[in-house]
Each structure stands twice: as C-alpha cells, then as structure tokens.
Chain A
Amino acid sequence: MTSLSTNYLKLKLKNPLIASASPLSKKLDNIKRLEDAGIAAVVMYSLFEEQITHESNALDYFLNRGTESFAEALTYFPEMDNYNIGPDNYLELITKIKSHIEIPIIGSLNGVSSGGWVEYAKKIEQAGADALELNIYYIPTETKISSGELEIAQIELVSDVRSKISIPLAVKLSPYYSALPNFAERLVNSGANSLVLFNRFYQPDIDINTLEVNPSLELSNSYDLRLPLRWVAILYDRIKADLALTSGVHNEQDVIKAMMAGANVVEMASELIENGPKRIPEILQGIENWLVEYEYKSIDQMRGSMSHKSVSEPAAFERANYMKALQTFDNRLP
C-alpha cells in the first residue's frame, strides 16, 4: 500500500493536490465537488487589496457623481442597505465553507504593500481559515525604486501579516527576483512557513488592428511547469520552509516531478478549470500506479530526490542557455 499523504503548512494532507486560488473557490458547491473528487485542500480565491480599494472608490465616485447639483435630481441611485464592499462576503464564505467542508481551507490575500488592509489577514483567520496564502505581486515601472527597496517593503509586508495571525503563512511569489534564494530565506525568517512558486501574471497582448493592449490570462500547460520546477529544486533543503509548486501541473507526471524536485504539494487550477474535478481522481490514480510500478512506498520517499542538492549534475538546473555539451570531469579525482 503506497501513501500519498504529505505535510504542508503544518497540516496533514491526504495527498499533495491542492486547488490553487482561482474562481473555482467562489462557490461552496464547487469546493464541495473538489472535496468529493479527492482534493487535499483548497486555496480560496484571492482577496485583492487593489480591488477592494478600487471598488470602494468606484462605488463612491458613481454614487456621488451628479448628485446635489440639480434640484430635481439630488441623487441618481437608491441608497442600499449594504454594498458588501470589503472583505465581509469573502469572510462569510470562508465561515460557510468551513462548516460544510472537511478538508483544510487556505485563505488568500493579494497585495503589495503594508497598510490597513493587512487587518484582513486577521479576519480571514477569525473566519476559520486553516492557513493563509499571501500573494505578493508588483510590476515595477519606476526607475527610482531599487530592487532592494522593493524587497524590504515585501519583507515588511510578510512580517506585518505574520504578526497579525497565528495560523501558518504561505507566501506566493513571482519568479522575477535577482537573488531568489536570498530573498526566500529572508521571507522565511520573517515568518513565512511556505513558499508557493510561482504566481502567474496576466500578460499583456497587443492588438495590432485596434492598437490596444489587452491583458489576459491564458490557462497554463505542462511546459509552464519547468520554471517553478527549477526553483523548487534549487530552494529545496536550502530554506527552512515548505514548498508548493504551482503553474503547469496538469497530470500525474507533473506532480511526480514536483515532488522529486522537492515540493510538499502542488497547486493546480488550469487543469481543473478546463477539465473539471474528475481529473483529481484520475491524477491521484496515476500517481499511485506510478508509485506501485516503480516501487516507491510513499510520495514522501521521492521528495527532493531530484533537487538541486540531490542530483548528480546540479549544473543542469543552473544552465540557462544552450551550450555545447561539455566534457565533464571531477577535479577531486586524481
């Protein structure tokens, strides 16, 4: 009998498949379906700092505009009882999910700098989340802000969130750091219990007919696995934190690769969005079959077996460009 169970964020999970933050978690019914299909945990869709602020300001703008200017129309909209601006709906959903679902629920908060909104972390904990995933994203456009300054701001954000909550904290990152291992270590020192590699951004496209920029998010494919795979392999056993691999996990091979690179879990969304929760039992069965075929006792057994530290040729993880195959040698040998 093989074991698929794994530990992540101090949670004992029945298998390494986690549903990553996506619109799938907007409804209890969907989460229920994921649970029934065998998912080990669910990361909630993200509460966006930017979005909450924007919605609040936009609502205010549109409700104010044109008011108190013209005697016959002092307002243009009825005053509603409540606009559910802010985290309340989100928090209520977590509480509701927790009362209907057995598997762990990981809250997700998306922001870029410290501020009043960090209080939402505490509220997510209070709503019943088992852990929190903090999604840091930032597209720098200023030439005056250095990478060092940005990193400090992000480290402060993590410390700040850490100080608000006692549940485990995962930090989801983008791949765009000059010195990721160093930064990763500082994040862990600031209180991150896990790193989630990597965030996928909306990428802009240019419409050459309309001369417009259209940002959109395409679903991932298995090739996208390569980037996080490298960095999981490099960070494994270098930092004292769990690792979750996300982006490009579509089948059992992808999961196995992630585990071998050193991930505790994988987070997947595209595959579930595209092909539905039925893929979960299929992938789990595939992993199990593979473990049996290759005589692994557990998934734990393979964790990190192909990490940067473990492989015979770590340079393969470091190589960034095509080079002519070099003759290898070991200078310790006489």
Chain B
Amino acid sequence: MSNKITLDANEAVARVAYRVNEVIAIYPITPSSGMGEFADAWSAQNIKNIWGTVPLVAEMQSEGGAAGAVHGALQTGSLTTTFTASQGLLLMIPNMFKIAGELTSTVFHVTARTIATHALSIFGDHSDIMAARATGFAFLGSRSVQEAHDFALISTRATLNSRIPFIHFFDGFRTSHEVNKIDILSEETMVSMIDEDAVIRHRSRSLSPDRPVLRGTAQNPDVFFQARESANSFYDNCPDIVQEAMDKFAKLTGRQYHLFDYFGSPDAERVIIVMGSGAETAEETAKYLINKGEKVGIITVHLFRPFSVKHLMQALPAPVKSIAVLDRTKESGSSGEPLLQDIISALFEGKTLGIAPFEQIPTVIGGRFGLSSKEFTPAMVKAVYDELKKSKPKNHFTIGINDDVTHTSLSYDPRFSIADPNTKRCVFFGLGSDGTVGANKNSIKIIGEETEFGAQGYFVYDSKKSGSVTISHLRFGPGEMRAPYQIGVGEANFVACHQFSFLERLDVLKYAEENAVFLLNSTYGPDDVWNHLPQETQKQIIEKKLKFYVIDAYEVAQKTGMGGRVNTIMQTCFFAISGVLPREEAIERIKYSIEKTYGKRGEAVVQRNFEAVDHTLANLAEVKVPKAVSSEFKRRDSVSANAPKFVKNVLGPILAYEGDDIPVSAFPTDGTFPTATSQYEKRNISLEMPVWDSEICIQCGKCVFVCPHAVIRMKVYDDHYLVDAPATFKSLDAKFKGVPGNKFTIQVSPEDCTGCALCVEACPAKNKTQAGLKAINMADQPPIRDAESLNWEYFMSIPDVDRNDLETTTVKNSQLLRPLFEFSGACAGCGETPYIKLLSQLFGDRTILANATGCSSIYGGNLPTTPWAVDENGRGPAWSNSLFEDNAEFGLGMRLTVDRQTEFAHELVMRLTDKIGEDLVSELLNADQSTDAGINAQRARVVELKKRLAKEKDRDSKQLLSLAEFLVKKTVWIMGGDGWAYDIGYGGLDHVLASGRNINVLVLDTEVYSNTGGQASKSTPRAAVAKFASNGKSLPKKDLGMIAMAYGYIYVAKVAMGANDAQTLKAFKEAEAYNGPSLIIAYSHCIAHGIDMRKGMEQQKLAVLSGIWPIYRYNPELVALGQNPLVIDSKDPSIPVQDYAYNETRYRMLVQSDEQRAEKLMIDAKNDVRKRWELYKQMADIEYKAANGNKEQK
C-alpha cells in the first residue's frame, strides 16, 4: 500500500509533533498557525498519540506565555512542544535560555519568518532563527516538505537522547505552505524512533513533591561561570546523537540525512553552503550544472547548532577552492551574516585541528538571499557559482534584487532555467473568493495520489482581504518535484486566468512558454472573445503560439447554483485540456475529491458541484487565434494618471506585480511612506454599487456612517457649484441647520466600492410606492461606472464643510466631516473600519495613532497603498505599528512625547515672551482647544508665532520653532483588535490605562484573532466555535470594560454602531474629550463570525437587543457632579440570545456538530448575559453623592 500523501509542511510536521507529545501550548502566528490548528482539532476529536492518549492542547495569551507553559510542563515531566515563528520566537527567547540551561528535552517547530524591522513581513527567512541562535537550543533545519516531516521525528529522538532542546525549523510559506507529495511516516516508525527509556529518564527529572529538588536558583560570581560550563559535554555529544538519529531513521525509512549533506561532483571546486529550502534549489541547479560539466557542489546545513566542525570537514570535498555561504537573513552592521561567520570560523578551526580535507583554506564569500520569501531561483544559484569562478569574487553580496545604491547585488540572467521538459508547469490566476486555490490544492492531491507523478503546489496571495488576486503554481511529472521556487517567466505550459477582468490590469501570459495552453474564463465565446482582449494579451497569444481555450464558467456556475465559485468548473477544464488523466477518470477523481471535501457539508453541496462538473465540458471551446493583433485597447495603468511620482514609480509597479524589479534606490531607507495613497488605486472589484435615490433620501447620513470603505460621502454646499456639475450629478435642497450651503449630495465612488451593501441595509428611508427600495439601492456597476466616476471626481472637487462651523454632535452632521481613512483592502462589509473611519473624521487632523498588529495594521499599513489620508490642508493621522504585544505601551510613549514636548513648548513660549509679545503668549498658553474652531484658532496663532520667531537665531527660539506644533492639541489613539487587547497586549494595556495619561484606546472587538484566521481569544464568547475552541468556547467572554471601570478613573464605553450610532458618536467624542485614559470597546462584526456581511449592522443590533453586548458609557467626570458614572445605553434584553447567535455560523456549527453541547453552552451563555445585565443594572443604579455631599439630583 502506498504511503504517499500530498500535503503541506505545516500538516506534515503537526502529524508527527502531535503524535510524540503530551502537552502542546499554542498561540497563533503566521505562518505557523496551521500546526496549532491541526493539533487543536485533533485533540478535540480525541485523536491519540503514539502512547494511546490524547495530547492536551492549550492556547496561551502570547508566545511568551506559550513558552512559559512549555517550560512548566517540561519541568513537570510532560513531553511538550509548541509551534511558532518570527516575533513569536523572539518572545520565547527568555524561556528558551532557561529550558536549554536546564537541559530539557523539547522540540519547538518553527516556520522561519522575517522579523519586523523597517516593516513587518509575514513571509519567510531566517532572521528569527538567527535571533534565537544564542539560546543554547539545537537548530535543525529542513529544506522541503518531506524533510520537515522527517526532521520533526528525528529532532524528537535527538532531543530526548541528548537532553538539548531543539528548534526544528523550515521556511515559512515556501515550505510550510507548499503542498508536496511525500512519504508519510508510519506509526511503527514513530514508535521505533522514540527511545522509551529516554522518555522515562525525561520524566524522572521532573519536579515532584515526592522527590523534591530545587531548580532555577540564583547564583553569584563565585559559581555561575563554572556551573554554566558544566553542561558542555551535552553539546559536544549532541551532533553525534543527531547523526545517530538520522542513521536510525535511514534504516527505518531508507531516507538518509547528514548534519551537513554534500551534493556535487567529488572534484568540486566551487561549493555553496546554505540552509533551508534554498538548499534544494541550489542542489537541483548544481545537478544541472554538473551535467553540463561544471565542478560544483553544495552543502546543505541541517544541524546549525550545535555547530559541528568535524562533520562539516567530513562533508566538504577536498578540491574545494571557493565557497559561497548564503544566509537568508541580514545582520546589519556585522562583519558577515551568522552562517558565514560560523563557516569561516569552522574552516580555520578544521585546518588548525588538521581535520580539514583541503590543503589550503578556500576563498569564502558570503551573500544574502531570499529575505521575506524573495524568490531564490536556479538563475540566482548559477550567478553565485559564476561569481565563485572569479579571481576576486564579491563578498557580502546580495542576490535576487537590484542594489543600485551600495552595489551589493550580483547580476543574474533571469532567462536561465533548469526546468525539466518532462515536468508540467501550470499557473492559475484566481480571485480570492472564486475558490481557485482550494480547487488547485485538490487537483494537486488528485495528481499526487492518483498517479505515479510527483506533485507540488504553491500559492501566492496578495495583501488585500477583499477582491484579492491569487496565483497558484502547480508542478507535476515523473520523479519528485524539488523546485521550491515559483514557476518563472516563460516557463509555464499551462496558464489559466479564472477572472476575465485580470487581463485589463495584469500580465498573466508572461508565464506562458511557447506553445503553451491558455485557458480563460470569459463571458465572450470563442468567436467573439478576441477583440475583448487587450493588445498585449493578443500579441503574446500570437507570438507564443498559444493554444487558447475559453469557457463561460460564470454562466455554468450561475446555472448550477455555484454562484461566484468557478473553481470546480475551471478544475474540470484543466484536467480535460491537460490530459494528465484520461477524461473519464479525471472527472471521476474530481467528483471523488468533491465528495471528500464537501461531503460533510451535505448532499446538496456535493450535487451542485457534480452538476457544475457535468455541465463544464460542453461549454469549453478552443479559440481560433487570428494572425494579427486587432484590439483597440491596452492594459490599464495600475494607478490613476494624477498619482504623484512616488506612487507611480514605486507603488504602481508593486500593484502590477512587478515589485521584484524595483531597485533599492527607489525605497525610503527607514520604512517611512507617504499616506493618502489608496485613492490612486482604483481597484474596481465590485460588479454592483449603491445608487442614491435623492427623491427618497432624508439626509440622515447613516449610509455614510456605516460605509466600511469610505466610498459613500455627503456634502452640503452652495448651489453655484452645480453650474459646472456633470449632467448626471444629483443634488437636493440641504436640510441641515447651521451648516452653510443650500444643496446636498450623496456620492459613491464606483471604482472603490466593494459592493458590501451595508449602506443599503442601514438606510432607514423606504420608497413609499415600492417598499423594497430605499434611498440607496444596489445596481449594476459597469453601465454607470464612467458617469459615476466623473461625478465622484466633481464631488471631491467641492470644498468640504468648514469644521469651525460644524456642530458634530449628531450623526448626520458628523458625516459631513471628511474621512481620513478611505478605500482600505479590508473585507467587503468589514465591521472594524467604520469605527476607524469615524475616528479619522472626528479627530484625524490631530491624531497620532499606535496600531497593534492585526487586521487593522494590515489593511491600514500593508504595501502597496495605505487608506490613511490627509485633509485639504495636508493634515491627517500619523500612523505607526510597532508590534502586536506592545501597542498600548507604544501609544503611551507617544503620549509621553506629546506631554513633554507640549510642556517644553509652553516653557519656551514663556521664556520668549519678549520676542513673541505678551498678547500672543497669553493666547497661546490659555487657548481653549476643546473644539475644532479653538484648535484652528491655535493653529493660526502658531503660524503667527513662527513668523515672529523666523529670523531669531537664539537656541530657545530654534527649539521652539521645532516644537511649536505641540502647542496645538494632539490626540493619541491606541488601536487594535481583541487578540491584542484581551490577550497578548493586556498586561501593557492595563498598565497604560492605569497610568492616568490622556490616551484613547479603541478595541475593535471581533471576538477572535481575525487576521490569522479566527482563533479564539479571551474575548470569544461562550458557545461560539473558533479555531483553538473547536468544541465551542466553554468559558464566558472576558469583561474588559468591567475591569477597566474598576479603576474608577478610566472613561469606558462599549459601543455597537449598528445598534446605536448616536451612542457610538457620543462615546468617541466623550472619550477624546476626557482628560485621562479612555477605552472604547467596539463590536465589530467579522467575516470570521460566518454571517451575511450585508447584515453586519443588523447583527450588532441583535447583539445589543439580546443583552449579549450591552452598550454603556462610564464617565468618571460624572462622579464630581454627583451622578453615577455608568450610563447604560441599551434597554433590558428583549430577544433571546439564540435569536442573535444562531444567525452566525460560529454558533450554528456547534449545533450542527454537537447539538447537546451546543444546547448546554447556550444555556450557560444566556446565564452569562442575565447575570452580567443584573450586575450592570445594579452598578448603574447606585446613588452617588456629589462633591458637596448631596445626593445626585435626578
């Protein structure tokens, strides 16, 4: 029986780690989350480990917490593991030193990922591994899915036998997320590899009151050093123990590994030394070059720590003359990256000890490659080998980029390819929501498991959460697919474009080789598709002699009830055209895979997919390709014509998927980017958009308020602006008191709208003759796109309302303020962004913002463009993201600056009274800045101040000029999700709130870790299913608001704009006005709730009505007035909790999977609601005495 399975490395590793451990402490972090998710799901399903017991999986509040829990579980004798990456690994470092210092056996499985520096990156390199290398852990690196699976077991044996704890690492995404066909380890192999005696020895070292010991002492200068050296022999022995594990493994499986694996000609003169997936690319390239007669070799470093000079010397070929050491990391300011330094040191030591195979120490150069999953291709490997031929090869080089500043980069020929002619290489462009990636994962499984072929899949995603583009790279063919890099330009023999609209903005055919097949999903049939293709596409089809097929998958999907999911249809076409399996068999396998994937979801889903498969082939047709280009249009530019230079030259190519070609010189050196750039990226992702019916409109502003993408705006203006307005520009007589202007318009930006329809749902005005219509209704976008774009452009040219004249206490007035957060890549219908937008409208021109890592930092700050914008004066939120865990402290630091600099500026103003003039000094120091008008008046004073000091040369004047902006009020907002506020950042948040400083905290509470795919946080409510709470969360949601209220001096508000927008507005204004710490907890409906996103605001309302989300404001200032600080803004719960909860998949799926448990948890959840409500009511009913001792006057 075949033991080959096609899966990704996260699953491959988890399958081993789960089976050889008893306790698993987890915390989500990309790209390692998958391992924890598998472990949690298996534990929930009572799947047992090799000792026949179910491992205990515990989610912690941070990786630091996970490491602590691992440490404790280890000290008490459990076989324990964890999974992490990047910042997570950094948080584990303190414990790692302890665990290693105590010689404790464990393996941490790490998907190696970039550490955030000038920017965060979720992708793969070794900067995290290298940052942890001093901990005393052993480091064992895998370079492929198979190795990751194997090394998960080898490292476990080795740690138990050596007592040295291990990091087993493999490349984030490139390996962790690559789907490949591997030999799966059997139960027997796992049992054989684990030395039971070593397990028992591990337990015997545990802490037990029955045989008490003391571990973790404090030591003094007299002994610490000696004690530290006492463990040396364990490190000395470790490499041989690892090799023994590898040898034993080889006997059991036939796969032999070494600490340093050499591949190459025995007479190799040029050798590359490298770790991780890059080694596989290097090896495949070396193989190719050796066949061409080159004398090259490559050493894969598997065991990086403890570093064994002996084993390296044994691996090196004697004739070696020059070595290139490739590091997938950058250590700024070092004399060389870590692996390079180790190799140089080892070569010298080997030579000194007389164990080196070479006569003369070879020339060694070091180079950096592959940072943040930058592609590392055979062409780059070849360039490195070529460099080694030179008499003076470049040291400290980079490969894969164009460094036109410090000229570190080696040039390479991107056309160099080692692609095997027997391998099929297929590239698929899909839309995130169309299921392309899922279908391709199934296809590669089908090929891997139903044919003798090797099979590999790798999937590239963009940074948007709505309308995102996916690119799937599939390889299959005889032998193993050892190519951990994407299919290159001109290398694909099959290119599929699953969305027709991509052709107008992306160069999908650059991947196609000559005579390749091109499959296009097109509403145009084979006879008329040609002239709907851009010129560039036509040209490539003709020049590359492509075989061109079309299918109207949209139509097949519509007819078979598949909606927008064209995946099975396109998959069927792929199998039909590629001929990898006979057609009938392929269809049978697709259906089998549909059954396997969707069977659990019910017969209807399976049947619908079957129907789609059955209707596909009749609609697939080959296009007769004309001989000449005849199209009248070209691809669109990626950014608008009016974009600034930087946007055009840097962000534009990134948007066009050409970011790899941008040279170093184009980039800011410190990660600083301009804001207000999303306006130039017209994504045009929705086929529907809201259209304003001015006849029905009551000018309430609710549609503008809820729009998550700030694509609906309203303005009040003078009618003279209508003179030049476009013909279809709509307006009404304005009904706003005290707002200058007599006309009113609501305008939608067609090319920025995501079509979520939250606005339509929020609109309270119904058409009196047709109640189904409102004052804003969804309509087909394409027919009105151009006209509405013109209208939008004109609308934006009308001046915004003067903030000085605007009273913003009402929802309708507040929506005349310009949003300074617009067109983000958040999910269509996002529940977080409307709050952020409101913040930006009310206070954006004076806000400094600390944003915790998470959804909001990604749609707010992931390149290419940012939604943070500026007003007509160029003012807007200044945004920064530090980390996930430290955001409150980061924001507090900002406040400290504001407080200090403001005070200093005041001191300077006083010192400089003679130069400034007494009147102005008095006005500057005593300005009332509680309103926009007051702030703007102060801004004018600062302008005057600067004018008066402009020519002054003294130190104080210069100082004041640089600080004068602090004389104008600044607002510090600290923003993040519940994962941050309730879990990883809670300690810091608590401290910052307790500090008493004037900071404002906005918690966008989605009740799960949304950004990493819906893991439970302490905010997750009871009875809801989430990852890491697969059986439904059994404990109630943490009451963060109550904890904060306990301080008595923190302004606390709980809001849900869908339930009460006026309360939300009031809370934001009060929080900002409160001269102390403020906390707003905002109900944010989320895609991870499994709701109809269009009904997001309705769900918010139901949450409040059911009592599960009571809304309130706790204003400490009321106490001084003799009033109770707590005002509950919601009414007594009036609907059952389940009427809210069971609209959401997160609750429903528990009913479906375990009805009894769901019922029990729902009863408990209702009790939670009742008890909390009673408590709140009592708190709100307490009588307070005013400062004068009198009771509150009601």
Binding site for B on A (CB under 8 A): 52-53, 55-57, 59-86, 89, 116-117, 211-212
Interchain CB contact (< 8 A) of B604 among A56, A65, A66, A89: A56
Are the CB atoms of A77 and B41 closer together than 8 Å?
no
Task: List the A residue with the shortest CB-CB distance to B1093.
Answer: A65
Given known contacts A59-B1152, A63-B1145, A85-B1152, is B432 in contact with A70 (CB within 8 Å)?
yes
Bound complex: CA A82 to CA B122 (Å): 32
Are the CB atoms of A84 and B122 closer together than 8 Å?
no
Are the CB atoms of A72 and B1012 closer together than 8 Å?
yes
Given known contacts A60-B602, A211-B766, is B470 in contact with A69 (CB within 8 Å)?
yes
Are the CB atoms of B1027 and A78 closer together than 8 Å?
yes
> What 5 new A-B contacts, CB under 8 Å, besides A61-B563, A68-B461, A81-B45?
A68-B437, A69-B468, A75-B1014, A77-B1014, A78-B1025
Interchain CB contact (< 8 A) of B602 among A56, A72, A76, A89: A56
Are the CB atoms of B1087 and A71 closer together than 8 Å?
no
> B235 near A: Cβ within 8 Å?
no
Interchain CB contact (< 8 A) of B465 among A62, A66, A85: A66
Are the CB atoms of B433 and A71 closer together than 8 Å?
no
Are the CB atoms of B1090 and A77 closer together than 8 Å?
yes
A89 to chain B: which residues have CB within 8 Å?
Answer: 1155
Are the CB atoms of A73 and B1010 closer together than 8 Å?
yes
Are the CB atoms of A82 and B1155 closer together than 8 Å?
no
B563 to chain A: which residues have CB within 8 Å?
Answer: 61
Are the CB atoms of B433 and A73 closer together than 8 Å?
no
Given known contacts A77-B1146, A86-B603, is B1013 in contact with A72 (CB within 8 Å)?
yes
Given known contacts A82-B1153, A83-B600, A85-B1152, is B432 in contact with A68 (CB within 8 Å)?
yes
Bound complex: CA A65 to CA B828 (Å): 11
B33, B766, B1013, B1153, most chain A CB atoms within 10 A: B1013
In the complex, what's the smallest C-beta–C-beta distance from A269 to chain B, in angstroms?
A: 21
Bound complex: CA A61 to CA B565 (Å): 10
Are the CB atoms of B602 and A59 closer together than 8 Å?
yes
Are the CB atoms of B603 and A78 closer together than 8 Å?
no
Are the CB atoms of A85 and B1014 closer together than 8 Å?
no
B601 to chain A: which residues have CB within 8 Å?
Answer: 56, 59-60, 63, 83, 85
Instruction: List 30 A–B pairs whose Cβ atoms lie within 8 Å, in order of A's numbering.
Output: A52-B603, A52-B604, A56-B604, A57-B605, A57-B608, A59-B1148, A63-B1145, A64-B565, A65-B1087, A66-B432, A66-B465, A68-B436, A68-B459, A69-B433, A69-B461, A69-B468, A70-B461, A70-B465, A71-B122, A71-B461, A73-B465, A73-B1012, A75-B1013, A76-B1010, A76-B1014, A77-B1026, A77-B1088, A77-B1090, A83-B1153, A84-B1153
> B824 near A: Cβ within 8 Å?
no
Are the CB atoms of B41 and A85 closer together than 8 Å?
no
> B827 near A: Cβ within 8 Å?
yes
Are the CB atoms of B1011 and A72 closer together than 8 Å?
yes
Bound complex: CA A37 to CA B308 (Å): 82
Are the CB atoms of A62 and B1090 closer together than 8 Å?
yes
Considering only residues 33-48 of chain B, those with a C-beta below 8 Å from chain A are: 33-34, 37, 40-41, 44-45
Are the CB atoms of A116 and B605 closer together than 8 Å?
no
What are the interface flags for B561-586 relative to A under an 8 Å C-beta threshold, 1 for contact and 0 otherwise?
10101000000000000000000000
Bound complex: CA A68 to CA B437 (Å): 6
Are the CB atoms of B1013 and A73 closer together than 8 Å?
yes
B177 to chain A: which residues have CB within 8 Å?
Answer: 71
Considering only residues 150-175 of chain B, those with a C-beta below 8 Å from chain A are: 173
In the complex, what's the smallest C-beta–C-beta distance from B127 to chain A, in angstroms?
A: 18
What are the interface flags for B608-623 relative to A under an 8 Å C-beta threshold, 1 for contact and 0 otherwise?
1000000000000000
A61 to chain B: which residues have CB within 8 Å?
Answer: 563
Are the CB atoms of B1145 and A80 closer together than 8 Å?
no
Bound complex: CA A84 to CA B1151 (Å): 9
Are the CB atoms of B1030 and A80 closer together than 8 Å?
yes
Task: List the B residue with the shortest CB-CB distance to A54.
Answer: B604
B1145 to chain A: which residues have CB within 8 Å?
Answer: 59, 62-63, 77
A77, A78, A86, A117, most chain B CB atoms within 10 A: A78
Q: Closest 8 A-B residue pairs measured CB to CB?
A: A69-B432, A56-B602, A85-B602, A73-B1013, A68-B437, A56-B604, A62-B1090, A62-B1145
Considering only residues 99-136 of chain B, those with a C-beta below 8 Å from chain A are: 122
Are the CB atoms of B766 and A77 closer together than 8 Å?
no
Are the CB atoms of B37 and A78 closer together than 8 Å?
yes
Are the CB atoms of B1090 and A56 closer together than 8 Å?
no
B1011 to chain A: which residues have CB within 8 Å?
Answer: 72-73
In the complex, what's the smallest C-beta–C-beta distance from B624 to chain A, in angstroms?
A: 34
Interchain CB contact (< 8 A) of A78 among B598, B607, B1026, B1087: B1026
Bound complex: CA A56 to CA B608 (Å): 11
B173, B607, B608, B1090, most chain A CB atoms within 10 A: B1090
Considering only residues 1071-1097 of chain B, those with a C-beta below 8 Å from chain A are: 1087-1088, 1090-1091
Task: List the B residue with the shortest CB-CB distance to A85.
Answer: B602
Considering only residues 1126-1155 of chain B, those with a C-beta below 8 Å from chain A are: 1145-1146, 1148-1149, 1152-1153, 1155
Task: List the A residue with the shortest CB-CB distance to B29.
Answer: A72
Are the CB atoms of B605 and A78 closer together than 8 Å?
no
A69 to chain B: which residues have CB within 8 Å?
Answer: 431-433, 437, 461, 465, 468, 470
Interchain CB contact (< 8 A) of B607 among A65, A72, A116: A116
In the complex, what's the smallest C-beta–C-beta distance from B210 to chain A, in angstroms?
A: 39
Are the CB atoms of B600 and A80 closer together than 8 Å?
yes
> B987 near A: Cβ within 8 Å?
no
In the complex, what's the smallest C-beta–C-beta distance from A212 to chain B, in angstroms?
A: 8
A67 to chain B: which residues have CB within 8 Å?
Answer: 438
Task: List the A residue with the shortest CB-CB distance to B460.
Answer: A71
In the complex, what's the smallest C-beta–C-beta distance from A207 to chain B, in angstroms?
A: 10
A75 to chain B: which residues have CB within 8 Å?
Answer: 1013-1014
Bound complex: CA A75 to CA B1027 (Å): 10
Bound complex: CA A84 to CA B600 (Å): 8
> B635 near A: Cβ within 8 Å?
no
Bound complex: CA A116 to CA B601 (Å): 16
In the complex, what's the smallest C-beta–C-beta distance from A45 to chain B, in angstroms?
A: 14
What are the interface flags for B5-31 relative to A under an 8 Å C-beta threshold, 1 for contact and 0 otherwise?
000000000000000000000000011
A57, A66, A211, most chain B CB atoms within 10 A: A66
Bound complex: CA A82 to CA B1148 (Å): 13
Interchain CB contact (< 8 A) of B464 among A57, A70, A80: A70
Task: List the A residue with the shortest CB-CB distance to B45.
Answer: A81
> B435 near A: Cβ within 8 Å?
yes
Bound complex: CA A78 to CA B1030 (Å): 6
A116 to chain B: which residues have CB within 8 Å?
Answer: 603, 607
Considering only residues 453-478 of chain B, those with a C-beta below 8 Å from chain A are: 459, 461, 463-465, 468, 470
Are the CB atoms of B1149 and A83 closer together than 8 Å?
yes
> B771 near A: Cβ within 8 Å?
yes
In the complex, what's the smallest C-beta–C-beta distance from A109 to chain B, in angstroms?
A: 15
Are the CB atoms of A76 and B1088 closer together than 8 Å?
yes
Are the CB atoms of B607 and A60 closer together than 8 Å?
no
B431 to chain A: which residues have CB within 8 Å?
Answer: 69
A77 to chain B: which residues have CB within 8 Å?
Answer: 1014, 1025-1027, 1088, 1090, 1145-1146, 1149
Interchain CB contact (< 8 A) of B41 among A64, A79, A84: A79
B1030 to chain A: which residues have CB within 8 Å?
Answer: 78, 80
B465 to chain A: which residues have CB within 8 Å?
Answer: 66, 69-70, 73
A72 to chain B: which residues have CB within 8 Å?
Answer: 30-31, 33, 122, 858, 1011-1013
Are the CB atoms of B602 and A83 closer together than 8 Å?
yes
A53 to chain B: which residues have CB within 8 Å?
Answer: 602, 604
Task: List the B residue with the shortest CB-CB distance to A79.
Answer: B41
A85 to chain B: which residues have CB within 8 Å?
Answer: 600-603, 1152
Are the CB atoms of A76 and B435 closer together than 8 Å?
no
Are the CB atoms of B600 and A76 closer together than 8 Å?
no
Task: List the A residue with the shortest CB-CB distance to B430.
Answer: A68
Are the CB atoms of A64 and B30 closer together than 8 Å?
no
Bound complex: CA A78 to CA B28 (Å): 13
In the complex, what's the smallest C-beta–C-beta distance from B1034 to chain A, in angstroms?
A: 15
Given known contacts A72-B122, A76-B1090, is B1012 in contact with A52 (CB within 8 Å)?
no
Considering only residues 200-216 of chain B, those with a C-beta below 8 Å from chain A are: none
